[in-house]
Amino acid sequence: MSVKDRDISPLMPDWRNLGIVLRTVLGVNLGMLLAVLARHDSARERALAVVELAGSVEPFLILELTLLWLCRPWLARLPYWRGVVMVTAITVVCAVIIAGLPHFMLWPGIVSVLFWGLLTQALLLYYFHMRNRMLSPVVIEAKLQALQARIRPHFLFNSLNAVMSIVRHDPQQAEAALQDMADLFRVLMRDNRDLTLLADEVELCRQYLGLEKLRLGSRLEVDWNVKSMPADAMVPPLVLQPLLENAIHHGVETSSVGGTISVNIFSVRDEVHAILRNPYRLGNDRHHRGNRIAVANVRARLALHFDAEAGMSAKVINGGTYEVHIRMPYRKKPPSDAARQASRATPETGNDKEQKAPQRADKKTPSHRSRE
């Protein structure tokens, strides 16, 4: 089924997403400031009005966001319009609680708070609905495919060159490398809109680096530090591979003695961190420009999938090392999705695939020859 055939229906905002929460807080406070500016002329009156209004708006906002955060799992399972009804009920409950505070008269207070609360809720839901339509699957797929198109040509040419360099003197190793290439391009050519397991992403990177190891030999060393890696974390597909490709192209190939690429993946609280380092030569503007392109590429992927919850920084450290630090929320595959996939598994993709995995691991492929 093509993306155009998909049901682009309204979606309830993810009230646990940092970007959604920040936009809600900014939107409510901006509306409060505009209301004060419209009703008062002098600066002193505006300052007093902001303080007075904030005493009602901020507790209301904090209370409602807290309840929405707690109810998010139930809201995610409801149809959109039922979710709207539930959010409206939460708004009414918050209005009743806030209107009962000591500085309110009960009936005038509850009418005023309820009116402005429901109006603000309607405007925010409309805003998030229109934003969701702008970021519909059609637009997202077009952006992801455009980003992936930057990766595939370089990856294809480098991989083919690596295999061609050994095909004559070691045909068995070349055959194993071609099998790795087939696995890699199977991942590259599939539908990559959804998140993937971090363990699968790391295995993809191992295969890629194994192919590059064939071409570069002892010039390329890889230092893996993944003992604390949360293998079950869900991450954007192809979030690490382009950075490793860039590190090789601009950090190892440009040096006559090669260099070491280090990969450190770990989790802290509810976040997944990935730190990649590669050699950096001072004064090499082409090197730095290439790194910026790869970093911008991956940063766009993170923004599409995680909004403001993910981040990336890139900098030169110690004068000769380029470091990229990726931060992502630690999300696991929903149990319902895992159960659904297990129930749909066929012998070809289920048990047989698991039985074939050890055979694949036992085979001495280039992807397992990097220094661990």
SS3 content of the chain, % helix, strand, coil (to 5): 65, 15, 25
- Banded model confidence at residue 335, pLDDT cuts 50, 70, 90: low
Integer Cα distance of 365 and 211 in angstroms: 9
Contact 6, 194 (CB under 8 A): no
Select the more confidently predicted residue: 174 or 340: 174
- CA dist 242 and 297 (Å) reads 8
Helices (H), 252-346: 285-306, 335-344
Taking only the tens place, the pLDDT of each residue in 184-234 is 777 666 655 678 899 989 988 888 888 888 778 888 899 999 999 999 999
Residue 350's pLDDT band (boundaries 50, 70, 90)?
very low
pTM of the predicted protein model: 0.62
Residues 6+ apart with CB under 8 A from 326: 239, 240, 273, 274, 275, 276, 298, 302, 310, 311, 312
Residues making up the chain, counted from first to last: 372
pLDDT-derived band at 1, boundaries 50, 70, 90:
very low
SS3 210: helix
What pLDDT is attached to residue 359?
A: 42
Which residue is associated with the tokens 């930057």?
150
pLDDT of amino acid 235 = 92
- 3-state SS class at 220: strand
| pLDDT tens digits, one per residue of 145-165 | 555 555 556 667 767 777 887
pLDDT of 237 higher than 80: yes
